[in-house]
C-alpha cells in the first residue's frame, strides 16, 4: 500500500486510514517481531513466589451535591467472611487494611443518602485501591435507612444524564478483546457505535459523521486526542491518553444533557484519575504499541495532595533507531500526561493537569523490482492541553467547579510525486500546515435546593487563534493552487442551565436549555432539552429524552479559498452557519437478575442546517465527510433523518465472567438542494457485537495468579460510496464519479478479536503478560475504493489486517 493512501483525504479520497507498514525483503515480519518481544519480556519477569497477598482499600466519600465530605458513612466489603468494615472520618476518608487480593464488592451507607454498591472491584498486590465515591441524597429519610435497589452497572455518575449514557470503566476496558486498552475502541462494542474498519479509532454513532463527536477532559472541551490526526477529524490510530492515566469515563450517544454543547453525534467525557496521596507507586509497560512509565505518589508539603505522571514512546521507533528493524514508514510517536492534586484549607481543591503528543511518519512508494521512488509523504501532528481546575464548596448545598485551559493542535503534510512513470525527480503535489491554539474557561455552579430539586448552571468561553495554509496540485491548470491561507481568531460562548426534579422514588425529570454563539459567523443556537425516567419497579424503567443540538464546523471549512472567473480570491463559506439536529430517544431497561440487564432504545434524529453545495444539481453534503475541508460553495439548506432501534443484553462482571450481546438497525439519509433523498455515507444499517470474558484463578496457594480470556465478534454494515468512472478518471488524471450518488453499499465487515492475559502477583509487585489480537481470522473485506492515477486503476482499501498487540506490565 503506498503513501498516497495514508494521505488520501488530502488528494481526492475521502478518508485517511491506518496503513500497515510495507516490509523490506530482508526484515523480520511484524508478527514475528511481536512474538520475540513478548518472549523476551517473559524472561525478564523473574521468578514468582506463590504466597497469600493482601492490600489496602481506602478512599474518600463525598456528597454529590455539595462535594462536602460525608462523615460517619459505613463502608463494608461484603464478599469477605468475616465482613471488613470502616467508618469515614471528618474528612470523609476511610481505610480498610489487609484486604485479600482478588475481586471484592464494596457497599457504602450513610444517613440521608442513597446506598451505593461498587461491585467486583479488583484489588491487586502491587498497588493500593484508592477510591473517590460520591453519594446521592435520599428523597426521604426512611429510604436512607432501608436497603435500596443497587444502581445498575454502567450507570454514569452525571445524574443529569437520563438516556443514551454509559460509563466506561478502565478495568472494564482492559478486559474487552480488541480494545487494546483504548476506551475509544472499547465503545464500539456498545449498540449503534462503530469504529473505522480500516484501522483507526474514529467513532461513528447512529449513522452520523464522526465530525459530530465532542471530546472532553476534566470537564472541558479538548482537541482530537489521537496521534496522526489533524484539524477537523475526531479519531486516529492511537490515543494520546495512556490507560494508566484515565479514570472511569462516560459516553453519550444522543439527547445529551443541557451541559453538553457543540456536539450532535456523541460526547466522550474523560477524567484523569488522582495519584496515590500516601505512597509512591510505579507502572512500567513494554509492548508493540509503546514503552511507557507511570509514576504517582504524595505531593510533598501538601496535605492530601498527589501527583500522577506518564511518559510513552513508540516501541517500533525505538527498535528502528537502534537499527533492529528497517520498516518502510515506521510510525514514530511520543506522549505524556500529568495531574497534580492540591487541596487547600479554604480555597477548595486545585488540579493542574496536562496531556501532549507528537507523531510523525514518512511513507515512500517504491517499485518492487527496481526500487524506483514513485511518491513520498511526510506527515506530522502535535496536540497538547494544559489546564487548572478548582472545586470549591459554597455552603452545605452548593459547589463551584471552574477550569481554565490552553490547548493546541497542529499538523503538516508534504506529499511529492513523480509526474510520470519513469521520472525519478519528485514534484510537489500537496502541502499544508495547520495550527490552532485555544484558551477556554468554564465555570459550573451546582446547587441542591432540596432532596427533590437540583440546579446546575454554567458558562463556557473559548477563544481560538489559528494559522492555516494548504495548497494542492490542480490537474487542469498543471500547477499548485492555494486552497487555504488564513490566520485570525474566533470566540465561542456557551451557557446552560439544568434542573433535575425527583418527584418521588419512581419519577424523575431533567430539563434545561443550552445556548451557543459563534463570533466567526455570528450564528446563535438556543437549544431546549428534557428527559424523563419512570422507575416502574426496582428493576424496570422507562426513559424518554428530547432536545436540540448544534456544532460548529472546522475552521478550515470557513476559511477555504477559491478563485472567481475574474481571478479574485474569495472565501465561499466564511458565513456558513451551524449544523443542527433534533434528537428524540425512548428507552426501556429491565434487570433480569442482579447482574444481567436488557436494554433497548429507539431513536429519531432530524438534521437541519446541514451544509450542502449551493447547486441544485449537486448531491454534495459535508455530513458525508469525516474531516478535512472543501472549497465548494456551501449553504445550510440540507436536511437529514436518522432513525433506528438498538438493544443490548449484558451480564456485568460477576462470578468471574461477563458477556454482552448488542445489535442495532438504523437508516440514515439526507437531502441536498436537488430535492432527492440519498443514502448517507454512514448508513451502515446493521451493527452487532457478541463478546464474553472469563477470569480463571490458577490454583497454587495464591489468588494473584489469574488467567483472563475474552473474545469479541463484530459485524459492521458497509459504508456507501458513489461509483467511480474509470475511463473518465484516466482521462482527467484524477478520480471522477458516475451514476447515482452514494448508491453502492460496501460489504459488511466481520471481525474476530481474542485477548488472553496472565497476571501474577506477589507482595508489592505484580506482572501481567497480555496478548490482544485484532482480526484473528485475517479477514480482508474491502472498506472502500479509490482511483490510483499512477496505475490508472481502481484500488481497494481493506479492513485492518490481523494485528497482534503484545504487552508486558510491571507494577510496583
Q: What is the CA radius of gyration of the chain?
A: 27
Taking only the tens place, the pLDDT of each residue in 477-529 is 889 999 999 999 999 999 999 999 999 889 999 999 999 999 999 999 999 99
> For residues 185 and 201, what is the distance between their CA atoms, to the nearest angstrom?
6
Is residue 198 predicted with pLDDT exceeding 60?
yes
The whole model's pTM is what? 0.89
Taking only the tens place, the pLDDT of each residue in 278-287 is 999 999 999 9
- Please give the pLDDT value at position 431: 95
Q: What mean pLDDT do residues 258-265 have?
A: 96
- Please give the pLDDT value at position 52: 66
Taking only the tens place, the pLDDT of each residue in 634-692 is 999 999 999 999 999 999 999 999 999 999 999 999 999 999 999 999 999 999 999 99
Alpha carbon of 678 to those of 42, 634, 682: distances in Å?
Answer: 54, 18, 11
- Please give the pLDDT value at position 325: 66
Is residue 324 predicted with pLDDT exceeding 50?
yes
Phi and psi at residue 144, to the nearest 5°: -65, -25
Taking only the tens place, the pLDDT of each residue in 1-10 is 333 333 444 4
Is residue 32 predicted with pLDDT exceeding 60?
no
Q: How far does CA 755 lie from the centroid of its chain?
A: 21
Q: What mean pLDDT do residues 731-748 have?
A: 93
Phi and psi at residue 297, to the nearest 5°: 170, -175
Is residue 721 predicted with pLDDT exceeding 50?
yes
Taking only the tens place, the pLDDT of each residue in 229-246 is 988 888 888 999 888 999
Percentage of the chain beyond pLDDT 90 is 69
Taking only the tens place, the pLDDT of each residue in 522-560 is 999 999 999 999 999 999 999 999 999 999 999 999 999
Taking only the tens place, the pLDDT of each residue in 106-133 is 999 999 888 998 888 889 888 899 999 9
* Strands, sheet with 54-63, edge to edge from the N-terminal-most edge strand: 93-100, 54-63, 129-135
**Can you give 612-631 as a three-state secondary structure string?**
EECCCCCCCEHHHCCCCCCC
Q: How far does CA 640 lie from the centroid of its chain?
A: 25
Kind and range of the H or E run holding 573? none
Is residue 359 predicted with pLDDT exceeding 80?
yes
Give the number of C-alpha atoms closer than 13 A to the C-alpha of residue 151, restricted to the C-beta side. 18
End-to-end distance of the chain based on CA atoms, in angstroms?
A: 42
Residue 47 CB neighbour total at 10 angstroms:
5
Q: Can you say whether the dihedral through the CA atoms of 122, 79, 506, 500 is positive or negative?
A: negative
Residue 137 in grid coordinates: 441524597
Alpha carbon of 719 to those of 183, 341, 652: distances in Å?
Answer: 23, 45, 32
> For residues 161 and 157, what is the distance between their CA atoms, to the nearest angstrom?
9
Amino acid at each position: 500500500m503506498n503513501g498516497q493512501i495514508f494521505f488520501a483525504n488530502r488528494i481526492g479520497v475521502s478518508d485517511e486510514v491506518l496503513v500497515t507498514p510495507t516490509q523490506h525483503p530482508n526484515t523480520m515480519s511484524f508478527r514475528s517481531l511481536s512474538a520475540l518481544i513478548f518472549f523476551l519480556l517473559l524472561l525478564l519477569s523473574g521468578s514468582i513466589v506463590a504466597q497469600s497477598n493482601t492490600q489496602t482499600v481506602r478512599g474518600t466519600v463525598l456528597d454529590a451535591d455539595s462535594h462536602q465530605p460525608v462523615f460517619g458513612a459505613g463502608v463494608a466489603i461484603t464478599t469477605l467472611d468475616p465482613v471488613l468494615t470502616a467508618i469515614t472520618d471528618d474528612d470523609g476518608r476511610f481505610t480498610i487494611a489487609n484486604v485479600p487480593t482478588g475481586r471484592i464488592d464494596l457497599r457504602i451507607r450513610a444517613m440521608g443518602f442513597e446506598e451505593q454498591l461498587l461491585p467486583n472491584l479488583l484489588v491487586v498486590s502491587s498497588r493500593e485501591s484508592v477510591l473517590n465515591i460520591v453519594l446521592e441524597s435520599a428523597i426521604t429519610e426512611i429510604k436512607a435507612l432501608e436497603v435500596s435497589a443497587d444502581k445498575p452497572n454502567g450507570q454514569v455518575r452525571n445524574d443529569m444524564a437520563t438516556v443514551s449514557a454509559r460509563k466506561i470503566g478502565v478495568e472494564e476496558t482492559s478486559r474487552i478483546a480488541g480494545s487494546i486498552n483504548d476506551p475509544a475502541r472499547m465503545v464500539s462494542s456498545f449498540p449503534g457505535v462503530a469504529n473505522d474498519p480500516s484501522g483507526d479509532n474514529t467513532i461513528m454513532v447512529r449513522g452520523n459523521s464522526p465530525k459530530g463527536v465532542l471530546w472532553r477532559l476534566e470537564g472541558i472541551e479538548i482537541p482530537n486526542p489521537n496521534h496522526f490526526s489533524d484539524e477537523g477529524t475526531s479519531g486516529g490510530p492511537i490515543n494520546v491518553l495512556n490507560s494508566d492515566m484515565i479514570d472511569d469515563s462516560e459516553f453519550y450517544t444522543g439527547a445529551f444533557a443541557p451541559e453538553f454543547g457543540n456536539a450532535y453525534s456523541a460526547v466522550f467525557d474523560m477524567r484523569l484519575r488522582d495519584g496515590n496521596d500516601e505512597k509512591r507507586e510505579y507502572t512500567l509497560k513494554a509492548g508493540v504499541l509503546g514503552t511507557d512509565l507511570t509514576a504517582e505518589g504524595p505531593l510533598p508539603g501538601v496535605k492530601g495532595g498527589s501527583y500522577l505522571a506518564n511518559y510513552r514512546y513508540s516501541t517500533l521507533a525505538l527498535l528502528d533507531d537502534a537499527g533492529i528493524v528497517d520498516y518502510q514508514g515506521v510510525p514514530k510517536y511520543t506522549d505524556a500526561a500529568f495531574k497534580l492534586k492540591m487541596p487547600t484549607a479554604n480555597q477548595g481543591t486545585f488540579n493542574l493537569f496536562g496531556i501532549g503528543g507528537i507523531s510523525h511518519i514518512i511513507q515512500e512508494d517504491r517499485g518492487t523490482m527496481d526500487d524506483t521512488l514513485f511518491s513520498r509523504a511526510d506527515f506530522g501532528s502535535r496536540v497538547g492541553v494544559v489546564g487548572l481546575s478548582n472545586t470549591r464548596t459554597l455552603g452545605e448545598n452548593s459547589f463551584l467547579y471552574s477550569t481554565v485551559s490552553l490547548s493546541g493542535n497542529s499538523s503538516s503534510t508534504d506529499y511529492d510525486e513523480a509526474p510520470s512513470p519513469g521520472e525519478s525527480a519528485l514534484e510537489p503535489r500537496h502541502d499544508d500546515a495547520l495550527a490552532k491554539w485555544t484558551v477556554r474557561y468554564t465555570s459550573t455552579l451546582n446547587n441542591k435546593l432540596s432532596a427533590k430539586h437540583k440546579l446546575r448552571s454554567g458558562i463556557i468561553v473559548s477563544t481560538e487563534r489559528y494559522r492555516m495554509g494548504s495548497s494542492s496540485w490542480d490537474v487542469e491548470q498543471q500547477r499548485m493552487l492555494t486552497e487555504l491561507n488564513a490566520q485570525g481568531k474566533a470566540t465561542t460562548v456557551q451557557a446552560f442551565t439544568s434542573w433535575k426534579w425527583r418527584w418521588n422514588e419512581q419519577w424523575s425529570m431533567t430539563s434545561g436549555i443550552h445556548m451557543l454563539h459563534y463570533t466567526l459567523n455570528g450564528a446563535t443556537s438556543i437549544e431546549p432539552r428534557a428527559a424523563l425516567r419512570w422507575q416502574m419497579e426496582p428493576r424496570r424503567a422507562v426513559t424518554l429524552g428530547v432536545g436540540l443540538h448544534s456544532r460548529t464546523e472546522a475552521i478550515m471549512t470557513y476559511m477555504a479559498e477559491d478563485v472567481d472567473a475574474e481571478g479574485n480570491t474569495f472565501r465561499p463559506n466564511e458565513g456558513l452557519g451551524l449544523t443542527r439536529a433534533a434528537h428524540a430517544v425512548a428507552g426501556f431497561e429491565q434487570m433480569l437478575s442482579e447482574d444481567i440487564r436488557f436494554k433497548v432504545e429507539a431513536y429519531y434524529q432530524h438534521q437541519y442546517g446541514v451544509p450542502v453545495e449551493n447547486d441544485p444539481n449537486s448531491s454534495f453534503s459535508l455530513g458525508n465527510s469525516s474531516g478535512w475541508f472543501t472549497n465548494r460553495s456551501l449553504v445550510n439548506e440540507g436536511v437529514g433523518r436518522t432513525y433506528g432501534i438498538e438493544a443490548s443484553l449484558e451480564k456485568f462482571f460477576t462470578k468471574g465472567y461477563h458477556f454482552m450481546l448488542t445489535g442495532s438497525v438504523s437508516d440514515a439519509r439526507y437531502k441536498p438542494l436537488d430535492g432527492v433523498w440519498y443514502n448517507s455515507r454512514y448508513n451502515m444499517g446493521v451493527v452487532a457485537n457478541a463478546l464474553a470474558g472469563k477470569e480463571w484463578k490458577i490454583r497454587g496457594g495464591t489468588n494473584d495468579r489469574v488467567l483472563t480470556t475474552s473474545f469479541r465478534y463484530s459485524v459492521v454494515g458497509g459504508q456507501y460510496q458513489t461509483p467511480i468512472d474509470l475511463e473518465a478518471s484516466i482521462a482527467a488524471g484524477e478520480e471522477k464519479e458516475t451514476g447515482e450518488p452514494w448508491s453502492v453499499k460496501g460489504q459488511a465487515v466481520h471481525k474476530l478479536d481474542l485477548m488472553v492475559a496472565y497476571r501474577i502477583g506477589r507482595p508489592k509487585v505484580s506482572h501481567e503478560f497480555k496478548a490482544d489480537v485484532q482480526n484473528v481470522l485475517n479477514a480482508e473485506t474491502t472498506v472502500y475504493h479509490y482511483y490510483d492515477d499512477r496505475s490508472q486503476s481502481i484500488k481497494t482499501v481493506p479492513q485492518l489486517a490481523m494485528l497482534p498487540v503484545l504487552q508486558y506490565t510491571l507494577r510496583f
